[in-house]
Amino acid sequence: MAGEGEFGDAPPACPENYTNYIAYPSVVIIFAVMCLLSLVFALVCAFKYNKVQVLLKKFTSSKISNSAWTAYFLLISISALTSAIEYSVANDLNSAWTTVSLAMSLIFHGFVAFALTYALHHQVKFRSGSAPPSTSKGQLNPDTSTTSLGTLYGSVSTKQELSQKITKIKTKFGIVELCYVILLGIYLISTLFLFIFNYNNIAEAIFMGFYFVQQIPSFVLIIMIIVKKNASSTGPKVLSKVFLGLGALLGLVGEIPLRIWAGILPDTCVFVIGSWVDLIHLIYAASIFFFFLFIRSEYKRNISEYQWDAVNEIEKTFGEGRF
């Protein structure tokens, strides 16, 4: 177990035959896979699951947008990359390089937790059964078609409405979102103290306390999404909730730092090519995959609703002879 002046223990170096080339081969491989997988998920969310096409034109809106999920996956990718580099070149966990790498990893974890919380908050606010904003009758016409479609579920991605988007972002940033930022700030301060006081027992206890506290909002939001029953057909489908629930359950193991797991679990290569720490790490990687499946399922549901509302709005406009 780690003593004062150290944070956690080193994971087992498996398989032992390859430690001459890479300090912790199995750990590095898993981090590298997570890095690539998360990067792919981020790109798919950004370019495929972030807009909807209506009448040969692409739009974005609060109901469709997955920008927060894009940030979540991108931050995981960057964090995994720094960790992969850390465990590939360093055998001494107390070296200056590993200290810097650990600091970067813990800082990125705070932003990952913040991005996940904000993405789930966005889901609850715009996509979990709340009735969409109503549209004024007969708003759609040749000169204002962009604006009218934008009123269906939020802002439309056009240069002319950039200032409106900024205004809406400011108005949507309320007390709850501010609390997420405060939690992130407190977590980052506790991380700073951890290194300033050289991982002493008090600093480590405070850090671990805020490490877990920052995760609470995301799990509360996940429970809200899963247990909420929608009177209408709106809101996540059962399959989406299953994906989200699996992602949350599998992700629980990732809420304990890898170095802490290394101090708890056996330090042997029980699977020859891997250890119990590697198994825990793989389970966490699987949670990211299920979160992506949840996003994909929700996007398909919401894109159908968005397009249907757009068609209804156009039909009402044509019916009134506005063209």
Per-residue pLDDT tens over the stretch 144-164: 333 334 444 444 455 555 555
Mean pLDDT computed over 16-32: 87
pTM (predicted TM-score): 0.78
Q: Is the pLDDT of residue 132 over 50?
A: no
Instruction: Answer yes or no: is 197 within a domain.
Output: yes
Instruction: Answer yes or no: is 117 within a domain.
Output: yes
Q: Is the pLDDT of residue 322 over 80?
A: no
What whole-number distance in Å separates Cα of residue 127 and Cα of residue 121? 10
- Give residue 286's pLDDT: 93
Instruction: Answer yes or no: is 11 within a domain.
Output: no
What whole-number distance in Å separates Cα of residue 38 and Cα of residue 104? 18
Q: Quote the number of domains for the chain.
A: 1
Q: Is the pLDDT of residue 116 over 90?
A: yes
- Give residue 302's pLDDT: 78
- Give residue 200's pLDDT: 86
Mean pLDDT computed over 117-144: 59
Asked which of 128-132, 188-192, 214-218, 228-232 is least confident by mean pLDDT, the reply is: 128-132
Instruction: Answer yes or no: is 89 within a domain.
Output: yes
Instruction: Answer yes or no: is 171 within a domain.
Output: yes
What whole-number distance in Å separates Cα of residue 12 and Cα of residue 276? 9
- Give residue 128's pLDDT: 63
- Give residue 167's pLDDT: 55
Instruction: Answer yes or no: is 9 within a domain.
Output: no
- CB atoms < 10 A from the CB of 163, how many? 8
Instruction: Answer yes or no: is 7 within a domain.
Output: no
In this prediction, residue 16 has a pLDDT band, given cuts at 50, 70 and 90, of confident
Mean pLDDT computed over 266-282: 90
User: Range of 98's domain?
Assistant: 16-319
Asked which of 40-49, 63-72, 89-98, 114-123 is least confident by mean pLDDT, the reply is: 89-98
In this prediction, residue 315 has a pLDDT band, given cuts at 50, 70 and 90, of low
In this prediction, residue 10 has a pLDDT band, given cuts at 50, 70 and 90, of confident
- Give residue 174's pLDDT: 76
Chain centroid to Cα 190, Å, comes to: 22
- Give residue 175's pLDDT: 85
Residue 54, H or E segment: strand 52-54
What mean pLDDT is reported for the chain?
A: 79
What whole-number distance in Å separates Cα of residue 231 and Cα of residue 209? 39
Instruction: Answer yes or no: is 6 within a domain.
Output: no
